[in-house]
């Protein structure tokens, strides 16, 4: 049955994607919920929560707020919190409750902006969609609003788009930067937007020589920056030595499935092809999340259900699965026992961080 | 730089609850989902939320029908490695489902598919709904009836409505009642007594078992110790219930009204004389008196033994632990300890405790975990020796750490002794740390 999960647990939702993109940007973030959605985000979708402070709050909606649509109370609470925190902007993030009561987020944003005198971003997320959609929405809105000034291009400076712990499985950009520095044509300066990189970097987006999109969620924003400032972009993921070793190991098999966010999966596939020469194995990239046409090869598959995952393994007679350990749960014992699994955690799937060896 | 809001107990006690500062009243501000108090703000995040509570029923499976975000935290419960195994199922709703309500017809189909996919078949299916169904006013009774008819398996509903947290029936109260709703009226067995209140059993060494056993109650029954649904039905044969947690009062009312089983409430306390008095009162209501003499004496000895250690200590007490924070603070103060801080939300029914604390220790400060200003919280160096509760431990990483959050629930004299043991152990750990690092942590070290 479509929508029924018997083995897997739900993935990170769109609201988590939005908050993840905004987390380090010194804003006042208000999740428009009763408390549970915020708790889920902080407890499960945000590995930075115990390490880096963020002015992230729940609106603390109660039944009468929902029934009577008391938006003015929410704005009053946000104004009081803003006095304490002095944020750069306010963001209000939707959940199932405002979805059901059809909150007018545009109106709410205008009301809050007027009372606060701060730029206000509202996101009509519903909790029914997936995190990558939320990330993409948030990156695009952020850069659209705060990256408006033309600037001189700084030679060797690159912007990284799509650097969220939900995809990276890390709470800092340390390894990402290290892997970029170790690559050919290493940049002299890296703006890893949203991760170890504050609000100021948004307004410096125009100064980047190029942008590197490391997850599908960064693409829409890269296109915006290309259109606005002419900044070129590339879709690629800087593989760590650990991930290179993983590709090398997978190259021993002839039918391989890589299930992760597409940009990482495709970078792994390229590395795998290089290790597997002269015989090219059959490598299928699959994802429960966005699959971009730009990167897809014939046979790549967008997964929507547990059955589709099982079907992929069975129909392609996959010998080696590179992906999150949670996916193995969806397979029958007889199927998984024949399969070599090379674990590649995906935080947005299982909440597991990337082990040190793969960072 | 603004500071986290706190108020001393003397000032708080002098005010009527309606005049308490807005920083202490969660409805009046945004809610800080502090890392210290995640479990409080979202009980599913740690400890027991409605989801985990619903799986307390033996042989049960749960179907959560909701947008994906509501089931996100359940990834920690699922999986073959978890004690809950593969018992949680999800029917994910999209926007069209919510707008049209069409998912309600899918719920029964989903129950059937789940039942058919499991061997052996589940003994109970719990239908778990969320804020979405609260707002759509879904008729859960009807859904339960339909699912039961289709699957021929007992079904019940539980609700995860954070919107009603301060309402008449908060989610954790509602689920405590729902879990007993499958009980059928049965002849009474005078040797059976139920303990209501927790989703895990009391600690095995809790004196309540032996006290009741010696008084002729050979079956001391708890939901979490029921092996299967046949044994579960024995809960309906109890002579009476002991209510050990106030959130079980509604469940107790259900027992009285539907099953004609009366209840007696016992309060968790860390004051030995109070515990003794409480057992004496209970004893008068039973056909055979309880003899707690030995357990009382042992606890008194324990207190005497630890008195010197405790007298030197200053505590911070949080609300994320197996103890009610105001009652615990008062008990520690009466033992001669100092209590520097309490992290909790005050409530009108705690006023007597607040006044009693203020009378002994007017400068003890109270802060609410949920106040946005807690983002700025900074501990005062050297002020706290021991932190009790995972929230207090978070705020005072330098102090001896006593989370006091064991799954086996502490109660009575056993709870008191377990707390003292935990404090003792934490102080020894802090002492070792001090010796290794040269950093002085605990006054008692």
User: Is there a contact between B160 and A36 if contact means CB atoms under 8 Å apart?
Assistant: yes
- Per the rule left: phi > 0, alpha: psi between -120 and 50, beta: everything else, B101 is left
Please indicate whether, in this complex, the C-beta atoms of B110 and A100 are within 8 angstroms of each other.
no
Determine, yes or no, domain membership for A177: yes
**Superfamily name and number for B293-437:** Nitrogenase molybdenum iron protein domain (3.40.50.1980)
**CA A240 to CA A280: how far, in whole Å?**
22
Which pLDDT tens digit goes with each residue over B367-407?
Answer: 999 999 999 999 999 999 999 999 999 999 999 999 999 98
Domain boundary pick from A235, A267, A284:
A235
- Cβ distance B29 to A77 less than 8 Å, yes or no, reads yes
Query: Which 301-340 residues of chain A touch chain B by CB within 8 A?
Result: 326, 329
**What's the pLDDT score for residue B212?**
97
pLDDT exceeds cutoff 70 at B438: no
Could you tell me if residue A5 is inside a domain?
no
Under an 8 A CB cutoff, do B91 and A4 touch?
yes
Percent of chain B with pLDDT over 90: 78
Are residue A31 and residue A104 in the same domain, yes or no?
yes
CB contact under 8 A, A95 and B163: no
Residue A260 β-bridge partners = none
Exposure b/e, A250-278, CB count within 10 A at least 16 = b:
bbebeebbbbbbbbbbbbbbebbeeebee
Q: Which stretches in chain A have pLDDT values below 70?
A: none
Sign, CA dihedral A25-A26-A32-A34, equals positive
Q: What is the DSSP string of A94-141?
A: --HHHHHTT--HHHHHHHHHHHH-S-EEEE---SSSBHHHHHHHHHHH
Asked if the C-beta of A61 comes within 8 angstroms of chain B's C-beta atoms, the answer is yes
A278 is a domain residue: yes
**Is the residue at A304 inside a domain?**
yes
Residue A184's CATH number: 3.40.50.1980
Q: Complex ipTM above 0.85?
A: yes
The range of the structural domain enclosing residue A208 comes to 157-235
The C-alpha atoms of residue A6 and residue B123 are separated, in whole angstroms, by: 17
Are A249 and A220 part of one and the same domain? no
Q: Which helix (H) or strand (E) holds B433?
A: helix B412-437
Using CB atoms, pick whichever of B42, B88, B94 lies closest to residue A39. Answer: B42
Residue in chain B nearest A98 by alpha carbon = B132
**Cα A144 to Cα A138: distance, rounded to the nearest angstrom:** 10
Domain ranges of chain B: 40-172, 192-266, 293-437
Contact B30, A58 (CB under 8 A): yes
CATH code assigned to B192-266:
3.40.50.1980
Q: What fold is seen in the domain B40-172?
A: Rossmann fold (3.40.50)
Q: Do B98 and A99 touch (CB under 8 A)?
A: yes
Q: What is the mean pLDDT of residues B240-246?
A: 96
* Chain A partners within 8 Å of B30 (Cβ): 30, 57-60, 77-78, 80-81
3-state secondary structure of B222: coil
Among B86, B97, B131, whose Cβ lies nearest the Cβ of A97?
B131
Among the listed residues B3, B1, B2, the one whose alpha carbon sits nearest the alpha carbon of residue B380: B3
**Contact A146/B at CB under 8 A:** no
- Residue A52 shares a structural domain with residue A104: yes
Q: What is the pTM of this model?
A: 0.93
CA of A309, closest CA in chain B: separation in Å?
17
Instruction: Note whether B45 contacts A38, CB cutoff 8 Å.
Output: no
Residue A58 forms contact with B (CB below 8 Å): yes
- A313 vs chain B: nearest CA distance in angstroms? 20
Same domain, A260 and A325: yes
Q: Are residues A180 and A282 in the same domain?
A: no
Positive/negative CA dihedral, A287, A290, A296, A300: positive
pLDDT at B395: 94
Q: Which residue of A has its CA nearest to B75?
A: A9
pLDDT greater than 90 at residue B40: no
Please tell me the distance from the alpha carbon of residue B325 to that of residue B319, in angstroms, as a whole number: 5
**pLDDT for the residue numbered B349:** 93
Chain B nearest-CA distance from A183, in A, is: 36
**B79 pLDDT exceeds 60?**
no
A56 to chain B, minimum CA–CA distance in Å? 7
Q: How many CB atoms lie within 10 A of CB B365?
A: 21
Q: Name the band, by pLDDT with cuts 50, 70 and 90, for residue B42.
A: low
Contact indicator for B310, B427 with CB cutoff of 8 Å:
no
Residues A124 and A23 in one domain: yes
User: To 10 degrees, the CA torsion angle through A277, A236, A196, A152?
Assistant: 130
Are B42 and A43 in contact (CB < 8 Å)? yes
CB contact (8 A) between residue A9 and residue B90: yes
Q: Are residues A89 and A44 in the same domain?
A: yes
What string of DSSP letters covers A64-90?
Answer: HHHHHT-HHHHHHHHHHHHHHH--S-E
CB of A1 within 8 Å of a chain B CB? The answer is: yes
Please check whether the two domains, B40-172 and B293-437, share a CATH topology. Answer: yes
Chain B residues with CB-CB distance to A45 below 8 A: 72
What is the sign, positive or negative, of the torsion defined by CA atoms of B378, B381, B384, B388? Answer: positive
CA-CA distance, B229 to A6, in Å (whole number)?
Answer: 23
Q: CB burial class (10 A; 0-12, 13-18, 19+) of residue A3?
A: middle
Across the interface, do B106 and A100 touch by the CB < 8 Å criterion?
no
A283-306: b or e for each residue (b if 16 or more CB lie within 10 Å)?
bbbbbbbbbeeebeeeebbebebb
Q: Quick one: pLDDT at residue A283? A: 97
Same domain, A224 and A245: no
pLDDT at B129 over 80: yes
The verdict on A245 and A229 lying in the same domain is no
Determine the average pLDDT of the residues in B39-57: 69
How many beta-carbon pairs below 8 A join chains A and B?
Answer: 219
The answer to whether A326 contacts B69, with C-beta atoms less than 8 Å apart, is no
Residue B122 has pLDDT above 60, yes or no: yes
| pLDDT per residue as tens digits for the range B222-231 | 999 999 999 9
Query: Edge-to-edge strands of the sheet including A282-287?
Result: A301-302, A282-287, A255-259, A320-323, A340-343
CB-based contact A36:B160 (threshold 8 Å):
yes
Put simply, the answer to whether B30 touches A77 (Cβ < 8 Å) is: yes
Based on the domain organization, do A21 and A125 belong to the same domain?
yes
Q: Which residues, other chains included, contact A107 with Cβ-Cβ below 8 Å and sequence gap of 6+? A: A71
**pLDDT of amino acid B152:** 97
φ and ψ at residue B388, rounded to 5 degrees: -110, 130
Residue-wise pLDDT for B272-285, tens only, equals 999 999 999 999 99
Q: What is the pLDDT of residues A246-270, one digit of tens each?
A: 999 999 999 999 999 999 999 999 9
Min Cα–Cα distance to chain B from A326, Å: 8
Cβ-defined contact of B69 to A43 (cutoff 8 Å) = no
Alpha-carbon dihedral angle through residues A310, A312, A314, A320, given to the nearest 10 degrees? -100
Q: Do B35 and A49 touch (CB under 8 A)?
A: yes
**A55 vs B: CB within 8 A:** yes
Q: Cβ–Cβ of A39/B163 closer than 8 Å?
A: no
Question: Rounded CA gap, A127 and A267, in Å?
Answer: 30
Instruction: Please answer yes or no on whether B44 and A39 come within 8 Å at the CB atom.
Output: yes
The average confidence (pLDDT) of chain B is 91
A-chain residues near B175 (CB < 8 A): none
Please indicate, yes or no, if residue A227 is contained in any of the structural domains: yes
Q: Please indicate, yes or no, whether residues A248 and A199 belong to a single structural domain of this protein.
A: no
Count of domains observed in chain A:
3
Identify which of B398, B268, B386 has the alpha carbon closest to the alpha carbon of residue B337. B386
Q: Which residue of A has its CA nearest to B89?
A: A6
Whole-number Å distance between alpha carbons of B72 and A9? 7
CA–CA dist B89, A330 (Å, integer):
12
Given A7, A55, A100, which is nearest B136 (Cβ)?
A: A100
Predicted pLDDT of residue B36: 76
Work out the number of other CB atoms within 10 angstroms of the CB of residue B277: 12
Q: Which of A129, A146, A176 is the last residue of a domain?
A: A129
Q: Rounded to an integer, what distance in angstroms lies between the CA atom of residue B390 and that of residue B384?
A: 14
Q: How far apart are CA B373 and CA B368, in angstroms?
A: 9
For residue B395, give the nearest of B418, B365, B363 by alpha carbon.
Answer: B365
Q: How far apart are CA B36 and CA B329, in angstroms?
A: 19
Q: Do you know the residue count of chain A?
A: 359
Phi, psi of A190 (to 5 degrees): -125, 125
Q: What angle do CA A42, A48, A54 make, to 5 degrees?
A: 70
Q: Tell me, what DSSP letter sits at residue B181?
A: T
Residue B47 pLDDT > 70, yes or no?
Answer: no
User: How would you write B44-66 as a 3-class SS string?
Assistant: CCCCCCHHHHHCCCCCEEEEEEE
Q: Is residue A358 part of a domain?
A: no
Q: Which of A235, A261, A290 is the last residue of a domain?
A: A235
Q: Please tell me whether residues A78 and A119 are part of one structural domain.
A: yes
């Amino acid at each position: 049955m479509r929508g029924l999960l018997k083995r897997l647990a739900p993935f990170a939702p769109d609201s988590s994607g939005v908050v993840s993109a905004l987390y380090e940007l010194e804003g006042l973030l208000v999740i428009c919920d009763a408390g549970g959605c915020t708790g889920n985000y902080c407890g499960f979708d945000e590995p930075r929560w115990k390490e880096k402070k963020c002015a992230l709050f729940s609106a603390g909606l109660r039944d009468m707020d929902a029934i009577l649509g008391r938006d003015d109370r929410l704005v009053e609470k946000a104004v009081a919190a803003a006095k304490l925190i002095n944020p750069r902007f306010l963001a209000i993030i939707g959940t199932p409750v405002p979805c059901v009561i059809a909150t007018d987020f545009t109106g709410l944003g205008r009301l809050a902006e007027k009372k606060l005198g701060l730029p206000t971003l509202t996101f009509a997320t519903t909790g029914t969609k997936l995190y990558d959609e939320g990330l993409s929405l948030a990156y695009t809105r952020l850069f659209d609003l705060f990256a408006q000034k033309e600037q001189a291009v700084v030679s060797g400076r690159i912007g990284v788009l799509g650097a969220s712990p939900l995809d990276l499985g890390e709470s800092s950009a340390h390894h990402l930067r290290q892997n970029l520095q170790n690559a050919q044509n290493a940049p002299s300066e890296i703006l890893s937007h949203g991760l170890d990189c504050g609000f100021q970097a948004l307004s410096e987006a125009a100064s980047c020589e190029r942008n590197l999109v490391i997850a599908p969620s960064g693409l829409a924003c890269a296109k915006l920056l290309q259109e606005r400032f002419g900044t070129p972009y590339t879709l690629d993921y800087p593989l760590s030595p650990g991930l290179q070793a993983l590709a090398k190991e997978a190259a021993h098999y002839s039918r391989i499935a890589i299930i992760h966010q597409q940009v990482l999966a495709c970078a792994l596939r390229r590395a795998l092809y290089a290790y597997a020469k002269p015989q090219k194995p059959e490598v299928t990239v699959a994802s429960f999340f966005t699959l971009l046409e730009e990167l897809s090869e014939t046979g790549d598959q967008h997964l929507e259900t547990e059955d589709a995952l099982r079907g992929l393994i069975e129909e392609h007679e996959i010998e080696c699965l590179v992906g999150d350990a949670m996916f193995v749960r969806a397979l029958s014992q007889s199927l998984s026992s024949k399969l070599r699994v090379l674990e590649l955690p995906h935080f947005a799937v299982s909440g597991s961080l990337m082990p040190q060896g793969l960072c | 730089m603004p500071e986290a809001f706190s108020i001393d107990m003397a000032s708080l006690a002098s005010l009527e609850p309606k005049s308490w500062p807005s920083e202490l009243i969660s409805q009046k501000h945004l809610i800080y989902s502090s890392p210290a108090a995640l479990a409080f703000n979202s009980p599913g995040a740690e400890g027991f939320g409605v989801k985990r509570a619903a799986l307390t029923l033996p042989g049960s499976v749960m179907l959560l029908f909701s947008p994906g975000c509501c089931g996100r935290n359940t990834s920690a419960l699922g999986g073959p490695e978890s004690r809950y195994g593969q018992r949680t199922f999800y029917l994910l709703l999209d926007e069209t489902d919510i707008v049209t309500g069409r998912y309600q017809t899918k719920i029964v189909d989903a129950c059937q598919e789940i039942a058919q996919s499991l061997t052996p078949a589940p003994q109970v299916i719990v239908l778990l709904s969320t804020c979405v169904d609260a707002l759509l006013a879904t008729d859960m009774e009807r859904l339960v009836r339909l699912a039961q008819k289709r699957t021929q398996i007992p079904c019940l509903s539980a609700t995860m409505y954070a919107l009603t947290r301060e309402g008449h029936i908060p989610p954790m109260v509602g689920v405590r009642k729902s879990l007993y709703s499958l009980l059928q009226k049965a002849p009474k067995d005078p040797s059976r007594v139920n303990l209501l209140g927790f989703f895990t059993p009391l600690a095995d060494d809790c004196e309540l078992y032996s006290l009741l056993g010696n008084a002729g109650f050979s079956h001391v029954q708890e939901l979490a110790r029921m092996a299967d649904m046949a044994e579960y039905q024995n809960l309906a044969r109890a002579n009476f219930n002991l209510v050990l947690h106030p959130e079980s009062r509604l469940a107790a009312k259900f027992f009285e009204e539907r099953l004609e089983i009366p209840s007696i409430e016992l309060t968790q306390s860390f004051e030995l004389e109070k515990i003794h008095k409480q057992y004496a009162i209970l004893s008068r209501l039973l056909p055979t008196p309880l003899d707690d003499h030995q357990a009382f004496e042992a606890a008194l000895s324990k207190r005497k033994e630890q008195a010197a250690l405790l007298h030197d200590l200053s505590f911070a007490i949080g609300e994320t632990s197996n103890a009610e924070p105001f009652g615990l603070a008062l008990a520690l103060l009466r033992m001669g300890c100092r209590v520097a801080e309490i992290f909790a939300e005050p409530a009108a029914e705690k006023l007597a405790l607040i006044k009693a604390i203020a009378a002994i220790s007017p400068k003890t400060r109270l802060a609410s975990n949920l106040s946005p200003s807690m983002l700025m919280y900074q501990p005062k160096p050297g002020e706290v020796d021991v932190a009790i509760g995972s929230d207090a431990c978070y705020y005072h990483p330098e102090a001896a750490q006593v989370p006091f959050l064991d799954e086996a629930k502490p109660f009575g004299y056993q709870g008191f002794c377990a707390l003292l043991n935990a404090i003792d152990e934490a102080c020894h750990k802090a002492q070792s740390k001090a010796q290794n690092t040269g950093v002085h942590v605990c006054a008692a070290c």
